[in-house]
Amino acid sequence: MERLLRIWIDAGHGGKDPGAVANGLLEKVLVLLMQVYLIDYLKSSYKGFVVEATRTTDVFETLDKRADRANTWDADVFMSLHINAGGGTGYESFIYTKASSGSISLQQIVNEEALAVAKKYGLDAHGGTPAKRGNLAVIRETNMPAILMETAYIDSKDAALLKDDSFLRDMAEAYARGIAKFLGLQPKVIENPRQGVAGVSTYIDNQPPQKFRLETGNFKTEEEAEEALNKLKQKYLWIIRREGKKLVTGTWTDAAVVQKYKTEWKQTYKWWVYIKEA
């Protein structure tokens, strides 16, 4: 059986290390959200790979452990997600000072995807060029092609973009496309897609359809969560339940349907809402 390609995503900072902080934003939170979008897009759009992440919750991991784990897992590509600070503006990415040809190629491909999206939002490359090099631990100590992303500046006018969920998602998806192009991943091909109550799609490769659900962030109290649950039950007929201080839905097989309701919830209720693979 052919070996699946291995992708390692590293959401920077976490736990006791918030990363950059400004304008009511935390780097460690933003990159974790972008990681969700990136991985969701990979899984819904491509096949022939597996993906691992340094962290999926708010925990701290040392720089050397991040690289060690990716090396031990024998990843084929490593991407570290970050948000910039220092009063500048723009998108940029870093590879190691003495980068391999693989890392150079990875950066070229990812930058092409990312900058095209950034410019749609009026964001250009920081300093006039997106391709930077640096002696940064996670891209120095990893054995595979590796890149570190600096999406935008948290402490400048860029913060307005970082508060825009569409921008975060679009940039994360651009990163995913860059990884996919670099690795030569094959897209999932849909045959005779049919839209039913749950939005079912039939795949040529006969893989069972992925299932997705919505999950809110934690409300301050269980009482607030219960009040929010009652609001939703009055409007929607599908399954929604409370798990402690958060709300969780039933599942769909169409990622577009899930995204529609996620956007609707965020715009209507101003909640943190996440798409989860069930």
Quick check: is 92 catalytic?
Answer: no
In angstroms, the CA 232 to CA 251 distance is: 16
Burial readout 16-40 (b: 16 or more C-beta within 10 A, e: otherwise): eeebbebeebbbbbbbbbbbbbbbb
In angstroms, the CA 161 to CA 168 distance is: 8
Say whether 50 sits in a helix, a strand or coil. strand
What is the DSSP code (8-state) at residue 152?
E
- Helix (H) or strand (E) holding 25, with range, is strand 25-26
Strand partners, 7: 51, 77
- Helix (H) or strand (E) holding 51, with range, is strand 49-53
Burial class of residue 263 (count of CB atoms within 10 Å of its CB; 0-12, 13-18, 19+): middle
With DSSP H G I counted as helix, E B as strand and the rest as coil, what are the percentages for the chain, rounded to 5?
A: 40, 25, 35
Evaluate whether 144 touches 70 at the Cβ level (below 8 Å).
yes
- Helix (H) or strand (E) holding 82, with range, is strand 77-84
Evaluate whether 96 touches 140 at the Cβ level (below 8 Å).
yes
Evaluate whether 178 touches 131 at the Cβ level (below 8 Å).
no
Catalytic residue from among 27, 113, 150, 173: 150
Which of the residues are catalytic?
A: 150
